[in-house]
A and B are shown apart, each in its own frame.
Chain A
Amino acid sequence: AQKVTQAQTEISVVEKEDVTLDCVYETRDTTYYLFWYKQPPSGELVFLIRRNSFDEQNEISGRYSWNFQKSTSSFNFTITASQVVDSAVYFCALSEEGSASKIIFGSGTRLSIRP
């Protein structure tokens, strides 16, 4: 069975601080995909990244970076020099290749960036 755990329910930091959102996943498949989505107050999901299980290279995109470690089943997300516009709920998600394309979401982390 697949499961995604985001232990941090809410995080609040001051603008310009770095912040890391944790994500731990469980799966029995050897082929799977991991995602991060941002959900601003409008509700619309914003796709941030997709990673397949065979690619453990860390990724950096501007102020965003992701650390994928299969050994600890973690896929953490770091925002560097946070900005107020980063305030949103962030979801980590998982899909197994054999699960008919279903995406299972973690419970989400509500991130608040204070000016």
Chain B
Amino acid sequence: GAVVSQHPSWVICKSGTSVKIECRSLDFQATTMFWYRQFPKQSLMLMATSNEGSKATYEQGVEKDKFLINHASLTLSTLTVTSAHPEDSSFYICSASPTGLGPLVYEQYFGPGTRLTVT
């Protein structure tokens, strides 16, 4: 149980185009999902917290107009990288926190990641 999927697992897009990444909780509902970005040989950096039915909360320095997050259902959050540039090339990882556990974070499940390459 507690599986999180991401689609696609990898994507190559041209500079200036937009790309959407999906994060799904397959066997549980998640009120809260998180999006991380990981550059090569670096750590995971939290980009934003996505709450179902409300606006995402972005970390300092993350452009909300460039990284659009939609959490329209309890099992799906999407991250759209708009007008992508080569510097947006990275590994994007989502995680989901099951509904019903309140603010406790210990149950947080990570997706397998999506590798984005912008040419």
A residues contacting B by CB (< 8 A) are: 33, 37, 42-45, 47, 50, 52, 91, 95, 97-108, 110
Interface of chain B, main secondary structure:
strand
Q: How close is A12's CB to chain B, nearest CB, in angstroms? A: 15
Q: Which 9 A-B pairs give the minimum distances between C-beta atoms?
A: A101-B105, A45-B110, A95-B105, A44-B112, A105-B44, A43-B113, A105-B43, A107-B43, A50-B106
Which partner residue on chain B sits nearest A37 by CB separation?
Answer: B110
Of A47, A91, A103, A107, the residue contacting B46 (CB under 8 A) is A103
Please measure, in the bound complex, the distance between the C-alpha atom of A46 and the C-alpha atom of B108, giving whole angstroms.
12
Whether B49 and A107, one on each chain, are in contact in the complex, defined by CB atoms closer than 8 angstroms, is: no
Chain B contact residues (Cβ within 8 angstroms of A): what range? 20 to 34
Chain A residues whose CB sits within 8 angstroms of the CB of B41 once the complex forms: 110
Interface residues of B in 33-49 (CB under 8 A from A): 34, 41-46, 49
Tell me, yes or no, whether B91 is within 8 Å of chain A by CB.
Answer: yes
Which partner residue on chain A sits nearest B111 by CB separation?
Answer: A44
Chain B residues whose CB sits within 8 angstroms of the CB of A50 once the complex forms: 106
Please measure, in the bound complex, the distance between the C-alpha atom of A97 and the C-alpha atom of B105, giving whole angstroms.
7
